[in-house]
A = this chain, B = another copy of it.
Amino acid sequence: MDSVSVIGMTSIVIAGMTIAIGSIAPALGQGKAVAQALASIAQQPDEANTISRTLFVGLAMIESTAIYCFVVSMILLFANPFWNLITG
């Protein structure tokens, strides 16, 4: 295989796998946090506002790791420095 095939193939594989693997843990972590938030609201309805606010901050923190992966995936698809150099 020549360089174009190798770099292209690798970029596709990694672009997909990065977001696929990278979405596993955030989804599980968010599911856990949301589930606990619902249990907490049922237990202490008067604190629903505080719970919601803390939940959203937490979800944003967790989402950030998924977004790191999405950014790398997009860079590999549309702003790939290795591909640009080889096909340039």
Contacts and interface: CB of A to CB of B under 8 A. Distances in A.
Contacts of A23: 22, 25-26, 65-66, 68-69
Interface residues of A, number: 79
Interface in A15-67: 15-48, 50-52, 54-59, 61-66
Given A23-B68, A61-B63, A69-B23, A54 B30 contact: no
How often does this chain occur in the complex, in copies?
14
Interface string A2-18: 11111111111111111
The 10 closest A-B pairs by CB, nearest first: A29-B31, A34-B58, A25-B27, A40-B42, A14-B16, A35-B36, A23-B65, A16-B18, A42-B44, A20-B21
